[in-house]
Amino acid sequence: MYTRKQVDARAIAEAGISLIELVLFIAVVSVGIAGILTAMNVVTRRSADPMIQKQALAIAEAVLEEVMLMPFTFCDPNDPVAETAAAGGCTTGMDQSNGGGSFTGPIPGTETRYNASNPFDNVADYAGFSMTGGIFDITSGGTTPIAGLGNYRLQPITIARIDNLPNVPTDAAVLITVTVTDPSGQNIVLQGVRTRYAPNTLP
C-alpha cells in the first residue's frame, strides 16, 4: 500500500509533459532549425561552385586578351594614313578621343566583332561591347553561344583614358575593364592597361 503522499509523488513523476509544453518545445526547435537552414542557404548561395568561378575567370581572361591584342592607334587601322598620322590626322575618323574620358564604341560604327569583312580592329572598338545571351565565338555571328556558356554574360566593356601615368602622354594609355557574370549572378572583374608604343606606328 502506498500512502497518499507517495501516490501524489508517483503521479507527478509519471505525468510527463503537458500539451502546452510540447507545443512550445516544437515551436522553439522549429525556429532554431529555420534559422540554421536560412544561414546555410545564404552561405551556399554566395559560395558559387568553384568550377563556375573558374569558367567565368577563363572567359574574362580570354576577352581581355582579345581586346589587348588589338592595335591601338590614333586612326582606325584601315585608314590609309594609320601608320603615319598623329592626333587629328586621320582621314576616316578617330578611334582615339582627344577629349579624354571613356570611349563609346567602334569607329567606324559599321564594324562589329562578328563581321569577317569589317571586324573590330582597334582596342577602342570594344568600348561598350557586351554579350547578354551567352558567350559567343567570333565566328558564330553572335547568334549561337558556345556550348555550356549560355548562362554567362559579358557586361559592357569599358575603355577609359588614363591621364596620370608618369612619362606617358595623356592620350597614349587606356584602362580596359572586363566584367563577366556567372550563372549564380556573381561578377568576375579583370582590368588591363594598354598603351601605344609610339604615336604614329601600329603596335
Average confidence (pLDDT) over 150-167? 89
pLDDT (0 to 100) of residue 13: 54
**Buried (b) or exposed (e) across 58-73, using 16+ Cβ within 10 A?**
ebbeebbeebbebbbb
- Span 134-154, average pLDDT: 91
| pTM flag (> 0.85) | no
Contacts of 82 (CB under 8 A, 6+ apart): 73, 74, 75, 76, 90, 202
**φ, ψ at 178 (rounded to 5°):** -115, 130
Among residues 83, 84, 163, 179, the alpha carbon closest in space to that of 126 is found at 179
**Average model confidence (pLDDT) across the chain:** 81
Percent of the chain exceeding pLDDT 70 equals: 78
How would residue 167 be classed by pLDDT, with cut points 50, 70 and 90?
confident
pLDDT at position 97: 47
**What pLDDT score does 99 carry?**
44
Q: Hey, where are the domains in the chain?
A: 4-46, 49-203
Cell 603596335, residue located: 203
